[in-house]
């Protein structure tokens, strides 16, 4: 009788240990999954921030290029207009000469 009780107790202890091990494994797996999800979310957020920064930089560069182009064209037009006003055509060579 005592042997049977001891065997039952041992079986119960083994079952409890197995259940505890399974629970620990499940908890570890859940923690790993949560960590992986958090890492993925952080990576996605970083990628989105980098993309937004790149887009902002590109927009700023385009705006600067447009402003420079416009001012350059205005300057060109202005200076070419001034050049035309300041230049005289010499009657002999028909070349523009700047004063």
pLDDT tens sequence across 12-41 = 999 999 999 999 999 999 999 999 999 999
Q: For residue 79, what pLDDT is reported?
A: 52
User: Is the pLDDT confidence value at 6 over 70?
Assistant: yes
Q: Distance (Å, rounded) from C-alpha 48 to C-alpha 58? A: 15
Mark 45-83 as b/e (b = at least 16 C-beta within 10 Å): eeeeeeeeeeeeeeeeeeeeeeeeeeeeeeeeeeeeeee
Query: Is pLDDT above 50 for 85?
Result: no
- 33-77 pLDDT, tens digit per residue, is 999 999 999 999 999 999 999 999 999 998 888 777 666 555 555
pTM tops 0.75: no
């Amino acid at each position: 009788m005592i042997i049977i009780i001891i065997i039952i107790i041992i079986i119960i202890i083994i079952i409890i240990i197995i259940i505890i091990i399974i629970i620990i494994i499940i908890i570890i797996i859940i923690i790993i999954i949560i960590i992986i999800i958090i890492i993925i979310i952080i990576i996605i957020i970083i990628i989105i921030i980098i993309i937004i920064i790149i887009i902002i930089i590109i927009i700023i560069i385009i705006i600067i290029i447009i402003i420079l182009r416009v001012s350059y064209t205005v300057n060109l037009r202005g200076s070419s207009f001034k050049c035309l006003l300041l230049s005289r055509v010499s009657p002999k060579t028909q070349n523009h000469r700047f004063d």
